[in-house]
Chains A and B, each alone.
Chain A
Amino acid sequence: METLLSLSNDLAAAVERAAGAVVAVHARPRLASTGVHWRPGVVVTADHTVRSDDDLRVTRPDGRTVPATLAGRDPATDLAVFRVADLAGPPAPLGDPARLRVGHVVLALGHGPRASWGVVSTVGEAWRTWRGGEIDRLIRPDLTLYPGFSGGPLVDARGDVVGIVTSGLARQLELAVPATTVERVVEALLATGRVARGYLGVGLQPVSLPETLRRAAPAAGEGGLVVVNVEPDGPAARAGILLGDVVVALDGRPVGDTDAVQAVVVGRPVGSAVTVALIRAGAPVQLSVAIGERPVRSR
Chain B
Amino acid sequence: MAAIAAPPLAVSGELAADLEAVARRLRRVTVLVGGRGQGAGAGIVWGPDGLVVTNAHVARGPVGVTLADGRRLRATLVARDPESDLAALALPVGDLETAEVDDGAGLRVGQLVLAVGHPLGLAGALSIGILHRVPTDREGAARGWLVADLRLAPGNSGGPLADERGRVLGVNAMIQGGLALAVPTVAVRRFLRHAGLAAP
Contact = CB atoms under 8 A, between A and B. Distances in A.
A14 B179 contact: no
B109 interface: yes
A29 interface: no
Interface in B13-30: 14-15, 17-19, 21-22
B133 A115 contact: yes
Interface stretch (B77-85, B94-102, B124-132, B192-200): B124-132
Q: How large is the interface on A (under 10, 10 to 19, 20 to 34, 35 or more residues)?
A: 20 to 34
B129 A1 contact: no
Interface in A109-123: 112-117
A4 interface: yes
A117 B130 contact: yes
Interface residues of B, number: 28
B55 to A, nearest CB: 24
A11 B110 contact: yes
- What are the 4 tightest A-B residue pairs by CB atom distance, in nearest-first order? A15-B110, A4-B18, A12-B108, A8-B112
A29 to B, nearest CB: 19
Contacts of A15: 108-110
A5 B164 contact: yes
11 contacts: A4-B18, A4-B112, A7-B112, A11-B112, A11-B130, A12-B110, A113-B109, A116-B130, A116-B149, A117-B130, A146-B177
A7 B179 CA distance: 21
B109 A19 contact: yes
B111 interface: yes
A52 to B, nearest CB: 26
A2 interface: yes
